[in-house]
Amino acid sequence: MKKYYIGIACTFHDPSIVIIDMDGEILFAEASERYLQNKRAFVSPADDMFRITYLLKKYCSSNASYTLCFTWSKTYIDQFVNSNESNQSDEIKPLQYPDISGPFENLTTYNWSNETEQAIFANLGTNTVRALREDFSPIEIKKEYFDHHLCHAAYACYSSPFDSGICVILDGIGENGPISIYRYENGQISLLDDQKSSASIGFLYSSITQLCGYNALKGEEWKIMGLAPYGKLNRELYLLLEQMLSVDNCVLKYSSSTGYGKCLKEMFEKHKPNTESEIADIAFTGQKFFSELVTTLLNNVYTHNKSENLIYSGGCALNSSFNGTILKNTGFKSLHIPSAPGDDGNAIGAALLSYKQDYSLPIAKYKMLTPYLGSSINKKTVESFLKHIKLENVRELSDDKLFSYVAEKLAEGKLVSWIQGRAEFGPRALGNRSILADPRDIEMKDKINSVVKYREGYRPFAPAILNDFGNTYFHDYRESRYMELTGKFKMEQTKKVPAVVHINHTGRYQSVKEEWNERFYKLIKAFYDNTNVPVLLNTSCNVMGKPMVHSLEDALGMFFTNGLDILVIDNVIVEKSESN
């Protein structure tokens, strides 16, 4: 009898779906935002009714056993739903600066996040069960539930290159608090410590995002990281942050008897910025506080557990600016962060935990797990496009011509939408859903921000670099397969690739190897052969506020409504001309 494990990330934000077969192969993994084209897919089921039917037909068989694997424990879900049902009220109450609030200065609906989570929890897996019963004649359908932070840990540990290590999950909030610490040893994950309070650096960082005038719900913490190097320390704000949170051994605590909520109120009342420079100073101060607090925490974890290998995940592990400093400033010697450390990645963790209960987990399959687990552009749609399109300059090239031709156009300054194979799982474009450009042009960053991405000019772009040249371009280079950290450029190299060098001489780089992504490697190699520069500017194929493109229609819509010059879908090239 065949078995399938359907991982369902079921937080009210960043839902995702994963399918694993009885051999332990991850057949599919994708955040729901991609298909829905709705950034972060708030309050959306991971198993959209029509999408899940399509995916099951594509990847699964009839007359099989199916296990639905959820990313919160049954105890937590039941307590959450029951407690909120007992507190239901039609009255909408404003909530100003609660003592242990989330990140927001002012919530007009007290139970917004609770009510949305309850809506998700109350209908877990119903679309998948319907699809299975209608179309698949299932032999068995089971539901299994796993602790939220354990799902983070399972995905991170099993995908790491290590046989052992210490796993730190640092999240906005979990089932007990924002921090859990695990020991990973020969395929076994055991809990060492679990914070039992809501003192959260993730929530505080979101508050700083809001203070700067950005929207944490939209995931605009990225803007704080990009803006921080333009600012300077606001000492009064820093001292206030110190009154809010501090490290207590291997967990966080509220620092002051004054009360977190009162400090939060003071932060929003006294430190509202009025100028761009003041916004930058807040960003710098917030990033500095985050980095110093988490560095202290990780050093304490290292001292207590004495492992050289750190496995790090949870929403806070998306802070790539900080990630690049971990090995320099802590006792750890090696670091692994998975490609999707946020809640979307938990779908893989839950499915692997469920699989491990039935079979011996083939851990070797998952070491340095490929991120290319998502959807491909539908080939029939591309064939129809080629048949019916009336545009000039649309053609299909063989591989031996494709890479050299696109590399040549990049060297001429063309902006290229590069869409290849299966989409990346996680928030970074890693050469399959990318916008690419020549990093040698100092004006290229401003050009892409203004005519393609439509976003703030201070936001940097990533260098995708051939791994063999990493030590030539970066100090203390280490492989970064998932673009998970920033590194410091060597000064003599910054003039060669100014479009991917941030104001503080850093870059959030992607290491590219032929065995990791053959087609992307060949393109960068062709660019290197043409220019003697082994680097391309790489950014996600989307405009600000939208997810990365999912379908041919998404790709074409984006291509024809901004300043991109060339669209490449597998081997099909579309070029703009004056007539089209």
CATH topology of domain 3-87+111-158+344-365: Nucleotidyltransferase; domain 5 (3.30.420)
Dist. CA 490–CA 471, nearest whole Å: 9
Q: What tokens were used for 425?
A: 């799982």
* Percent of the chain scoring above 90 in pLDDT: 86
The candidate with the shortest Cα–Cα distance to 12, out of 104, 86, 77, is 77
Over residues 177-191, the pLDDT tens digits come to: 999 999 999 899 999
pLDDT value, residue 165? 98
Dist. CA 69–CA 329, nearest whole Å: 37
Alpha helices in 334-378 (DSSP H): 346-358
Contact 71, 346 (CB under 8 A): yes
Dist. CA 149–CA 477, nearest whole Å: 30
pLDDT value, residue 579? 56
Over residues 344-358, the pLDDT tens digits come to: 999 999 999 999 999
Place of tokens 């890693």: 430
> In the predicted model, what is the mean pLDDT of residues 7-13?
96
Instruction: Report how far Cα 307 is from the mean position of its chain's Cα atoms.
Output: 26
- Residue 380, number of CB atoms within 10 A of its CB: 8
Over residues 42-78, the pLDDT tens digits come to: 999 999 999 999 999 999 999 999 999 999 999 999 9
Over residues 442-489, the pLDDT tens digits come to: 999 999 999 999 888 899 999 999 999 999 999 999 999 999 999 999
Q: What tokens were used for 472?
A: 């030539």
pLDDT value, residue 102? 47
Over residues 562-575, the pLDDT tens digits come to: 999 999 999 999 99
CA distances from 574 to 454, 565, 567, 577, 578 (A): 22, 9, 5, 10, 13
Contact 271, 234 (CB under 8 A): yes
> In the predicted model, what is the mean pLDDT of residues 145-163?
98
Q: What tokens were used for 410?
A: 């990049």
The whole model's pTM is what? 0.95
User: CA gyration radius for the chain?
Assistant: 24
Contact 339, 1 (CB under 8 A): no
pLDDT value, residue 101? 45
Three-state secondary-structure class, residue 221? helix
Alpha helices in 271-345 (DSSP H): 276-305, 320-323, 326-329
Dist. CA 174–CA 197, nearest whole Å: 10
The candidate with the shortest Cα–Cα distance to 350, out of 13, 73, 118, is 73
pLDDT value, residue 21? 97
Name the maximum alpha-carbon separation found in the chain: 70
Task: Tell which CATH classification among 3.40.50.1980, 3.40.50.1100, 3.30.420.40, 1.10.10.10 matches the domain 165-337.
Answer: 3.30.420.40
HEC string for 121-159: HCCCCHHHHHHHHHHCCCCEEEEEECCHHHHHHHHHHHC
Burial of 372 (0-12, 13-18, 19+ CB in 10 A): buried
Contact 129, 278 (CB under 8 A): no
pLDDT value, residue 261? 86
Dist. CA 30–CA 331, nearest whole Å: 35
Delimit the domains of the chain by residue range.
3-87+111-158+344-365, 165-337, 379-575
User: Going edge to edge, which strands form the sheet with 566-569?
Assistant: 394-396, 572-575, 566-569, 416-419, 433-437, 535-540, 462-466, 510-512
- Residue 522, number of CB atoms within 10 A of its CB: 19
> In the predicted model, what is the mean pLDDT of residues 220-238?
97
Three-state secondary-structure class, residue 550? coil
Q: What tokens were used for 519?
A: 């087609």
Three-state secondary-structure class, residue 392? coil
Dist. CA 545–CA 561, nearest whole Å: 15
Which are the contacts of 489, defined by CB distance < 8 A and separation ≥ 6? 473, 474, 475, 497, 501, 505, 506, 507
State the amino acid at position 425 in one-letter form. Answer: F
Dist. CA 299–CA 249, nearest whole Å: 10
Q: Are both 3-87+111-158+344-365 and 379-575 of the same fold?
A: no
Residue 130 predicted with pLDDT over 70 = yes
Phi and psi torsions of 46, nearest 5°: -60, -35
Dist. CA 115–CA 223, nearest whole Å: 28
CA distances from 369 to 29, 158, 166, 272 (A): 12, 9, 19, 43
CATH topology of domain 379-575: DHBP synthase (3.90.870)
Over residues 381-440, the pLDDT tens digits come to: 999 998 888 888 999 999 999 999 999 999 999 999 999 999 999 999 999 999 999 999
Dist. CA 172–CA 154, nearest whole Å: 18
